[in-house]
Chain A
């Protein structure tokens, strides 16, 4: 036995060879192996997950749905059941939470989207069409019937082809409770002055005249839109949203100025409130009216549905009138390269048909169907009135964030409107800031 040359060697000798030789290294190798196994296992899991039921078999088609709330989700399932009984093709519905769907739409469409996916009419639809992320549906439109020209126009891309099949829509209007108004003897205002007078009366009666919430940023867009449509008209709305008009113009300043005049009638502290809470203040008879979409009815009980009524936002400029409104349209689009184009087109024909619309009417009281051929005798009184309102509209806008670039709407407009609500007096500074940011965004 030789003498150890170093301290380390000496200490090492105290360890039995079996441990020193095998222990660490084998153990590590084993761990690495196990890790590799786990790794591949996990990866394989991912792979099979996304690869399933993508068979190009002629009897299936996949559908990406953003209708994640229980009620609309059940309606979509029923429509797809109807599709199966009528064509024998099975639609695999891939439902994603509404907000997540919207935020991931870019990645979704550039990856492997479902054959058919749900989306909205408006700027974004045309943008996807222009960037080649959506399939041309001109041929399918040839087989559809029962759509007015307004809907066809809303489904048309910048190149004049159709890329969208509209199925449902809902108008924005001033909602109120009939019982409250009857009790207090309020009359529907026809002009801005009458609205102001009504608001003053409501304040005297201890109500918030206009319920208001803007914590999430988008509800205030509805107010801006309707003021713009009343003060400057539909064409200016379209041009402003397309970035063609300057936000520093007097026309835009007049919108903010009118809004500032109305703000005292709005429920205070709106920036901390969700639209649901504002709707509940209407439901609890604490607020007199509320400018929102038809979906406000969701916050009312079943026995209260008949008590809801609405009027369109009153006229401001007699030369412009009060016939234009926001009525966002929801519908379906086709992926650029569907796995089974024939099935995708048959699905789109079906969702655009009377039959599908009838199924929706029967099951969903919160939207209106786009197909005029549908049997709408099942509508509630509220739905009937809403359909009449939209039918009599001269122009239909989609909604601010559907009519303009999403980056502009979410990163410029939302903070700007919230800033305005906080401090309505610095309109010049506000519109300058919006215009500068708009120039930078629209030029890129």
Chain B
């Protein structure tokens, strides 16, 4: 066999000999080792995602933060924007009644998904993993809501929850105003959101369970462990990566909760969510771009708390 290099990247790292022998020419030699196509491809692979991330994520995020200090109404050139400093933020906190309920609802949403929907999804996954009869059917039935868009789910549940013409009141013989009563509607909506979330978590978890080495369970049962303790002491710890994904998905779902309440009543009257407030201020005819941006910045800050926590965990994992 010839001495032809087989892995280019290996030689791209200049050997000590090369750098010492070709003083001053080391750089040129290193470049020559990467072929032209290599360099173009690598540049493209770095540049394109970088441009996309900077252009579609970072610039808009920074622009939002910048706009949150203005009173722009979305009309006219940027040069006419008036700077108002922190007024939007003080208005959000002191002078905007929907803000506090929105924060509470977002936290409630997170808690409900975390405490009820996610464990339920995991439980269903464990059941389905037992290969009970018709598990394919249950799997499909439970996963179906995930395929539907949240907007469609809002519509489907509207048929159930409508006070005068809905299924639920007809069956129960009550006249509860499921979507209109601000004490009830958040729970009604959480049921609808949870209905979808359960299926999502179930599928994620089921995939994870299929990947658990069966010999672990055999060993546990040989040692005389019960089903429950096998799950909590053996399977659950092994599933750590999936658990983290499930946790992250739950947090993301509760932060980006939006479609459902928007379809129902544009996030008003007991269904306030920060994302809905941002939308009604920025996107609609209102065009309170500055004020809406302040709300969006607050949402960004809250998201950052979770993102930082997640990254900290993942990085600690990597270092180990």
Give A contacts to B, CB under 8 Å. Answer: 1-2, 6, 8-9, 12-13, 15, 17, 20, 25, 28-29, 32, 102-103, 105-107, 110, 124, 131, 133, 215-217, 268-273, 277, 280-281, 406-407, 410-411, 414-416, 418-419, 422, 433, 436-437, 440-441, 444
Contact = CB atoms under 8 A, between A and B. Distances in A.
Contacts of B75: 106, 110, 131, 133
B7 A12 contact: yes
Given A269-B177, A271-B265, A440-B95, 9 more contacts: A29-B37, A131-B75, A272-B177, A272-B180, A280-B165, A410-B285, A411-B281, A441-B288, A444-B82
Contacts of A9: 6-7, 10
B180 A407 contact: no
A271 B269 contact: yes
B7 A8 contact: yes
Contacts of B82: 444
Given A106-B285, A410-B285, A411-B288, A8 B10 contact: yes
B268 A415 contact: yes
A32 B283 contact: no
B282 to A, nearest CB: 10
Contacts of A15: 6
Nearest to A269: B177
Given A270-B180, A444-B82, A411 B163 contact: no
Contacts of B265: 215-217, 271
B258 to A, nearest CB: 15
DSSP majority for the B interface? loop
5 contacts: A2-B3, A217-B266, A273-B164, A422-B269, A433-B97
B10 A32 contact: no
B284 interface: yes
Given A17-B6, A103-B283, A215-B265, A277 B95 contact: no
Most buried by A among B1, B97, B185: B97
Interface string B1-41: 10110110010000000000000000000000001011011
B4 A32 contact: no
A410 B286 contact: yes
Interface in B71-124: 71, 73-76, 82, 84, 87, 91, 95-98
A29 B35 CA distance: 13
Contacts of A1: 1
A277 B177 contact: no
A272 B73 CA distance: 31
A55 to B, nearest CB: 29
B44 interface: yes
Contact of B280 (A102, A277, A411): A411
B96 A13 contact: no
Contact of B164 (A25, A28, A281, A441): A281
Contact of B96 (A8, A216, A407, A437): A437
A436 B41 CA distance: 58
Given A217-B268, A277-B162, A444-B84, A406 B10 contact: no
B287 A406 contact: yes
B1 A13 contact: yes
Interface in B167-214: 175, 177-182, 185
Given A15-B6, A273-B180, A411-B280, A32 B269 contact: no
Given A8-B7, A105-B285, A32 B97 contact: no
Contacts of B45: 28
A277 B269 contact: no
B44 A415 contact: no
Contacts of B181: 269, 271-272
Contacts of B69: none
Contact of A6 (B10, B37, B288): B10
Contacts of A419: 97
A436 B185 CA distance: 28
B290 interface: yes
A268 B290 CA distance: 37
A358 to B, nearest CB: 33
Contact of A418 (B37, B268, B281, B285): B268
B178 A272 contact: yes
A106 B287 contact: yes
Contacts of A8: 7, 10
Contacts of B283: 103
A21 B82 CA distance: 59
B310 to A, nearest CB: 30
A273 B163 contact: yes
A118 to B, nearest CB: 15
Contacts of B285: 102-103, 105-106, 124, 406, 410
A281 B96 CA distance: 35
Given A32-B44, A103-B284, A269-B163, A12 B6 contact: yes
Given A106-B74, A418-B269, A25 B37 contact: yes
A271 B284 contact: no
Closest 6 pairs between A and B when the two form their complex, measured CB to CB = A272-B180, A269-B177, A271-B180, A444-B71, A407-B286, A272-B179
B179 A215 contact: yes
B45 to A, nearest CB: 8
Interface in B206-257: none
A416 to B, nearest CB: 8
